[in-house]
Chain A
């Protein structure tokens, strides 16, 4: 039923190793060494997909990563499925399945194909123009648009594969293993440079490896023969690492490159398990040699997108490398000599070449003469004006081209064919070069953008540097290698090259048709269905910048990033607007060069390695006792401890009551702790806190508020003076690292004269906070020798002592308003300490409480939480904490800002308490506060920052920031919610034990 187009054995195809695979549900056969594309072509399958907008049938166009049409879903319906994969890059293996994308119900019959016949109604900007009005309808439009468009399908189950990252450092990185890359790598490694050579394909040698122009010779040998020997030699060189199937995705500044190494995609499913699928190489190279080659351009003419229309160079590669004929009646359409090489390649294998259509007037090169001798008809100065064949090309029509190339004349000739090779010249692959920040310059003669200003240590060699002929390549490569590696001789010095000299070119970006442009479909971007007329329309509508035209027409915005069509788009814009291409510039080439999988990007940072988290030494106890956890910064903190199926509310109410009525215990190990030492430690604290520190006695603790230089509250915590020149500062859990950073900044840059040393000791200590009226009795049981009297150990003081043999630091400080102790021991004893406290507290019904209860208890006392009740716009005055701001100190961080006109405004938002008129209604944190209900628009006075139901007060309490709230005590305000308005009254934020009597209870 299907034809076998395998024409000749190729050394790269193992015909003894027959492989079966499925495409769109049908089984085909290929051989080891085939790509999905070459195997399909060998089975005479050209139609592989549908285009994005018009759903036009599309075939395989190229043989590499630049493929715009043949993008497939690999292994659909499995957990290894991957969308948008280029069939030209998939190496086949037994059991491979692939399917077409963007078509329904099938690629052969696609309902969306009707768009093709409606295409006059789908010009550039169609979606923008049509679906904007009325705006409220967008949601309805979007559903249908998204449903009918779209490329492949993402996998919906967990990826079974392992991905990896590796850092690589090398002296020389060579990107691309064509003739230039191979010779560059060889010479670099031989000269003792640690060299890495990466190649996106599985074979080394680039296009030279199947070079068949008999008129080109290197050292009297065919270039392919010569290069094969070099490759053999390459594999024996020390200092050189070669990575195939490795594609550089990004080239960042300072020679930092990201490459994706593909390790198992070409293996059968059974060989993939427990292996690393893809590895992201993070390469830092001293020097980079780009040998990325060039991409052949198509020609832009009417209906240039039919299955069977391919790049001329791809036809040559399929024939020479894969031993596959892409058609049985072949025609070439060209503006340069390279199509003749492809024609001869087919001719030599006995494949029929009907004709060559050449837009040039003539060419005198030897390869052209050979084509003439072979009897192949050449139509000089002709252009293709139309093609036919819906799912497969079946004929072309050609006409004589006018002298200026803008129109066609004479009679139309029709040529029957099933495969058309187009050759529009070569575009250097400068994508990576520009990603590195280096700048291009347009070469008006060669009609290409070439590397011009390098920003890092790099060279571009071979065709990506603008050298297309082997003699130029070798000569310039040799000189560039000597310059960049600083060496005097290379292997290239003695090489003798003969080439087929003639190479004339005629460049016409948009070829004319006998029809007006409005009636034609000359595709520029195949994947996104952008045609030359769309580009012209964009220009007529006033777009000028290439970046705007790109976005308006979507040219170059597909998964192939316009690797084939971008130059034509630029050329058409330049011709239409009457400017030089060099002046237009190019659109920006952004990473990745070819798409990366998410797996490669995240590597091993999945599951529990997704983000760093920190656990306290008591963590196991919390887990055993069924605590629920919350994330605070990177910490996992016990949130509440539900028992007997309690809800969070029930658990928190119970914990809060217990802590005030008898005893509670909190794991406070996560608080930031900074050890401060040095003869200027007191002076330093004076400068960083708002209050005074010089007179704090040794063994005493003090609460401090830290501001930013703009006067806004930054952090708070208790600092204890351990010795004359020794303090320990505590910070908020989330702020620890930033506070240390900020303090270091001031010490190193503003006050280097101060003798102060800072050390983070957060992880060194575990902290249990024991609170409640029975806390003293519990501590007494644990440390019977310690005098806990108020005289010896008053509130806001510190003792260094021992629990058994374990050294501990105890601060009598309180964040709950209850009599409480914070016990610090070396972290490794944390769990023992905790269990000892629980054991000793049993008779007092000691209740472990989590962060939620801690928040509730401190809210009852009106204590702020930096970051919850403050948001970087609150001064201590706004918080009604004037008492902590020293009037006497000459300076501290943020002091001057407290006297700015803005921070002194009376109507700033200030922290107040709020009580709901109905004590059972708990406000929502973040709820807005207003003073009028019947105003429109209503002025927002502030918002609720903390809100709880207090079991100790048996009513709802809240903290809020309210504009001018300081003077609103007792004022009635409203909190409007979706379904009701809640009446509230401004109150003192200290709801509980205003006189602090419980601290000494």
Chain B
């Protein structure tokens, strides 16, 4: 079970958190102008990397805040945590 350093609350058990999938997929500002393919790309397509992955997490049973995490999926090492809206750290 991970020990996650919530940027608002500090280190907490993974069971307080909910994973929210890949990070940095912005909802299109003008969905109506997108083709079916472009919309499908936003809606369905997600990476499933073995290695360093950028993810969204939510402190669901804590402060309810969303934040971003950089995690190596091959060994579950959490490499960085940063708030929503902040720039991802350089790899």
Chain A residues proximal to chain B, CB less than 8 Å: 252-256, 284, 437, 455, 709-710, 741, 744-745, 748-750, 752, 890-891, 895-897, 899-901
In the bound assembly, the distance between CA atoms of A284 and B26 in angstroms comes to 36
A345 to nearest B CB, angstroms? 44
Interface assignment of B45: CB less than 8 Å from any CB of chain A: no
Asked if B76 and A900 make an inter-chain contact with CB atoms under 8 angstroms apart, the answer reads no
B 33-60 binary contact with A (CB < 8 Å = 1; else 0): 0101001100100000000000010101
- Name B66's closest neighbour in chain A (CB-CB): A748
Which of A437, A752, A897 is close to B84, meaning CB atoms less than 8 Å apart? A752
Q: Collect the chain A residues with CB atoms within 8 Å of residue B19's CB.
A: none
Which of A710, A745, A900 is close to B36, meaning CB atoms less than 8 Å apart? A900
User: Given that A254-B1, A256-B3 are contacting pairs, would A900 and B39 also be in contact in the complex, using a CB cutoff of 8 Å?
Assistant: yes
Interface assignment of B91: CB less than 8 Å from any CB of chain A: no
Chain B residues proximal to chain A, CB less than 8 Å: 1-3, 13, 18, 20, 26-28, 30-32, 34, 36, 39-40, 43, 56, 58, 60, 64-66, 75-77, 84-85
Which of B32, B64, B75 is close to A891, meaning CB atoms less than 8 Å apart? B32
Q: Collect the chain B residues with CB atoms within 8 Å of residue A254's CB.
A: 1-3
B30 to nearest A CB, angstroms? 8
In the bound assembly, the distance between CA atoms of A752 and B26 in angstroms comes to 12
Asked if B1 and A901 make an inter-chain contact with CB atoms under 8 angstroms apart, the answer reads no
User: Given that A253-B2, A897-B43 are contacting pairs, would A890 and B60 also be in contact in the complex, using a CB cutoff of 8 Å?
Assistant: no
Which of A284, A455, A900 is close to B77, meaning CB atoms less than 8 Å apart? A455
User: Given that A752-B84, A897-B43, A900-B40 are contacting pairs, would A745 and B77 also be in contact in the complex, using a CB cutoff of 8 Å?
Assistant: no
In the bound assembly, the distance between CA atoms of A710 and B85 in angstroms comes to 24
Q: Collect the chain B residues with CB atoms within 8 Å of residue A455's CB.
A: 75, 77
Q: Collect the chain A residues with CB atoms within 8 Å of residue B20's CB.
A: 745
- Name A439's closest neighbour in chain B (CB-CB): B75
- Name B33's closest neighbour in chain A (CB-CB): A896
- Name A895's closest neighbour in chain B (CB-CB): B31
In the bound assembly, the distance between CA atoms of A253 and B76 in angstroms comes to 8
User: Given that A253-B76, A256-B1, A896-B31 are contacting pairs, would A748 and B84 also be in contact in the complex, using a CB cutoff of 8 Å?
Assistant: yes
In the bound assembly, the distance between CA atoms of A899 and B34 in angstroms comes to 11
In the bound assembly, the distance between CA atoms of A749 and B84 in angstroms comes to 6
Q: Collect the chain A residues with CB atoms within 8 Å of residue B2's CB.
A: 253-254
Asked if B56 and A749 make an inter-chain contact with CB atoms under 8 angstroms apart, the answer reads yes
In the bound assembly, the distance between CA atoms of A750 and B28 in angstroms comes to 10
In the bound assembly, the distance between CA atoms of A254 and B13 in angstroms comes to 10
- Name A890's closest neighbour in chain B (CB-CB): B32
User: Given that A437-B76, A895-B31 are contacting pairs, would A741 and B58 also be in contact in the complex, using a CB cutoff of 8 Å?
Assistant: yes
In the bound assembly, the distance between CA atoms of A710 and B30 in angstroms comes to 16
In the bound assembly, the distance between CA atoms of A681 and B13 in angstroms comes to 34
Could you list some 9 contacts between A and B, CB below 8 A? A254-B3, A284-B13, A709-B27, A741-B58, A745-B58, A749-B56, A890-B32, A895-B31, A896-B31
In the bound assembly, the distance between CA atoms of A897 and B44 in angstroms comes to 11
Q: Collect the chain B residues with CB atoms within 8 Å of residue A897's CB.
A: 39, 43
Q: Collect the chain B residues with CB atoms within 8 Å of residue A749's CB.
A: 56, 66, 84
Q: Collect the chain B residues with CB atoms within 8 Å of residue A748's CB.
A: 65-66, 84
Asked if B31 and A745 make an inter-chain contact with CB atoms under 8 angstroms apart, the answer reads no
User: Given that A896-B32, A896-B34 are contacting pairs, would A709 and B43 also be in contact in the complex, using a CB cutoff of 8 Å?
Assistant: yes
Q: Collect the chain B residues with CB atoms within 8 Å of residue A750's CB.
A: 26-27
Q: Collect the chain A residues with CB atoms within 8 Å of residue B65's CB.
A: 748
Asked if B43 and A745 make an inter-chain contact with CB atoms under 8 angstroms apart, the answer reads no
B77 to nearest A CB, angstroms? 7
Which of B1, B39, B58 is close to A253, meaning CB atoms less than 8 Å apart? B1
Q: Collect the chain B residues with CB atoms within 8 Å of residue A891's CB.
A: 30-32
Which of B3, B39, B56, B60 is close to A741, meaning CB atoms less than 8 Å apart? B60
A286 to nearest B CB, angstroms? 10
- Name A745's closest neighbour in chain B (CB-CB): B66
- Name A737's closest neighbour in chain B (CB-CB): B60
- Name A752's closest neighbour in chain B (CB-CB): B85
- Name A167's closest neighbour in chain B (CB-CB): B13
In the bound assembly, the distance between CA atoms of A284 and B65 in angstroms comes to 24
In the bound assembly, the distance between CA atoms of A431 and B30 in angstroms comes to 54
- Name B27's closest neighbour in chain A (CB-CB): A750
Q: Collect the chain B residues with CB atoms within 8 Å of residue A741's CB.
A: 18, 58, 60, 64
Q: Collect the chain A residues with CB atoms within 8 Å of residue B30's CB.
A: 891
- Name B76's closest neighbour in chain A (CB-CB): A253
User: Given that A437-B75, A744-B64, A750-B27 are contacting pairs, would A896 and B1 also be in contact in the complex, using a CB cutoff of 8 Å?
Assistant: no
- Name B26's closest neighbour in chain A (CB-CB): A750
In the bound assembly, the distance between CA atoms of A741 and B18 in angstroms comes to 10
In the bound assembly, the distance between CA atoms of A709 and B44 in angstroms comes to 10
Q: Collect the chain B residues with CB atoms within 8 Å of residue A745's CB.
A: 20, 58, 66
Q: Collect the chain B residues with CB atoms within 8 Å of residue A284's CB.
A: 3, 13
Q: Collect the chain B residues with CB atoms within 8 Å of residue A890's CB.
A: 32
A742 to nearest B CB, angstroms? 11
In the bound assembly, the distance between CA atoms of A384 and B15 in angstroms comes to 54
Q: Collect the chain A residues with CB atoms within 8 Å of residue B85's CB.
A: 752
